[in-house]
Amino acid sequence: MADLGPVRFLTIHCAATPEGRAVEAATISKWDREKFGQVSYHWVIELNGHTVRTLGEAEKGAHVGKANSGNIGICYIGGVDAKGKPKDTRTAARKVKLATLIRTYQARYPGIEVRGHRDWPGVAKACPSFDVAAWIAAGMPA
């Protein structure tokens, strides 16, 4: 596995799984290995709010095209409605877990830039199905 390098970014993703569909972090990692040849995210927040580390702190993921160096990836299960349309499906528990991870990385890496996947240049997806910057600016409410 490639070295992550100096941490400069934290990118939030959704799994694009239907609202309420229980998918475990191990399944997300399996899908990623099949598609990208490796695990994509450093953390996955499961439907029940359980956070699972899926990559080591120094390992480079495969979650933002050619922008994975120095980039921590966090994915929450869900992100679409029953018809596959983008929808913020985070529960209060998952919002709390996500906020905790973000604050941990902000404390560990002052100046880290937190973005949604859709906020990267050239990304034409709704992922993570909510406005990360607006949520952070609002104080990351549950």
Residue 49 lies in a domain: yes
Catalytic residue among 76, 95, 105, 127: 127
Please report, for the domain that includes residue 54, its CATH number: 3.40.80.10
Report whether pLDDT(9) > 80: yes
* Beta strands at 9-14 and 51-53: parallel, antiparallel or unpaired: unpaired
pTM for the predicted model, two decimal places? 0.96
Residue 4 lies in a domain: no
Catalytic residue among 13, 42, 63, 87: 13
Residue 3 lies in a domain: no
Catalytic residue among 14, 41, 76, 97: 41
Residue 142 lies in a domain: no
Domains: count for the chain: 1
Question: Which domain does 51 fall in, by range?
Answer: 9-137
Convert the pLDDT of each residue in 44-77 to its tens digit.
999 999 999 999 989 999 999 889 999 999 999 9
Catalytic residue among 42, 63, 97, 117: 117
- C-alpha angle 115/77/44, rounded to 5°? 70
In contact, 134 and 141? CB cutoff 8 Å? no
Q: What is the dihedral of CA 93, 9, 32, 95, to 10 degrees?
A: 10
Convert the pLDDT of each residue in 87-99 to its tens digit.
999 999 999 999 9
User: Which residues partner with 9 through β-bridges?
Assistant: 71, 113
CA torsion through residues 34, 36, 37, 38, sign: negative
Q: Where are the alpha helices (DSSP H) in 22-91?
A: 25-36
Annotated active-site residue 105? The verdict is no
- Tell me the C-alpha distance between 22 and 137, whole Å: 29
Annotated active-site residue 117? The verdict is yes
pLDDT of res. 66: 87
- Tell me the C-alpha distance between 21 and 43, whole Å: 18
Annotated active-site residue 125? The verdict is yes
- Tell me the C-alpha distance between 45 and 74, whole Å: 8
Residue 98 lies in a domain: yes
